[in-house]
A and B are shown apart, each in its own frame.
Chain A
Amino acid sequence: GQQVMQIPQYQHVQEGEDFTTYCNSSTTLSNIQWYKQRPGGHPVFLIQLVKSGEVKKQKRLTFQFGEAKKNSSLHITATQTTDVGTYFCAGRPNDYKLSFGAGTTVTVRA
């Protein structure tokens, strides 16, 4: 079954607003990865977090790995139309194969 849960499934955002998508696992993850898939496109790697409590930023995107290494979040500030797409987290429980969350599909109202 699905080991990495991701919420919300859909996020409708007004342009300029902030939003956050969350990723949770019942087991400790050795690392967490985030991918973005534009409509009609393929998943593209964004970032990987490895350390407990790690925070990384890419321009308006902030990625966080929880202290217990069981959850992660992606926060986007000042949403733009270029942020449209589906964001996936993917984690490795116990160093085993990569397990993808169900994704958060983001639409932006101009």
Chain B
Amino acid sequence: DTAVSQTPKYLVTQMGNDKSIKCEQNLGHDTMYWYKQDSKKFLKIMFSYNNKELIINETVPNRFSPKSPDKAHLNLHINSLELGDSAVYFCASSQEAGVAGELFFGEGSRLTVL
């Protein structure tokens, strides 16, 4: 079983559309994250949830809205997609939000905005 799974793996869409990426972890972890990796491979944290509560909300356009229905799921909804949103989006989870939390990443969702 995949520990952190995200869908879809690939997403090609037009500017202005709205799209969602889903993430699920079966590790029993309390904390989940969304990271954005641009073409230069830089990993930038977007959001983090601990037990369904938002704990990290970086400077991200409010077109991006995370939702955590339970601690095993963290979804990302993006409104009015722009060209600059093209990137690979990684979901991750960790057992703890603090010092000891190694991250387990999903396989990524490659978003291409045309």
Contact = CB atoms under 8 A, between A and B. Distances in A.
Interface string A2-39: 00000000000000000000000000001101010100
Contact of A92 (B40, B42, B99, B107): B99
Contacts of A44: 105
A43 B99 contact: no
Nearest to B98: A95
A88 B103 contact: no
A45 B102 contact: yes
B105 A43 contact: yes
Interface residues of A, number: 22
B99 A45 contact: no
B59 to A, nearest CB: 11
B104 A105 contact: no
Contacts of B48: 97
A103 B90 CA distance: 16
A95 B99 contact: yes
Contact of B90 (A43, A48, A97, A105): A43
Contacts of B98: 95
Size bracket of the B interface: 20 to 34
Interface in B71-101: 90, 98-101
Contacts of B107: 41-42
B99 A88 contact: no
Contact of B42 (A31, A41, A48, A103): A103
25 contacts: A30-B99, A31-B100, A35-B103, A42-B105, A43-B43, A43-B103, A43-B105, A45-B102, A45-B103, A45-B104, A48-B100, A48-B102, A90-B103, A95-B98, A95-B99, A97-B48, A98-B45, A98-B103, A100-B43, A100-B44, A100-B45, A102-B40, A102-B41, A102-B42, A105-B41
Given A86-B41, A90-B103, 8 more contacts: A31-B100, A33-B103, A43-B90, A43-B103, A45-B102, A95-B99, A100-B44, A103-B41
Interface of A: 30-31, 33, 35, 37, 41-45, 48, 86, 88, 90, 92, 95, 97-98, 100, 102-103, 105
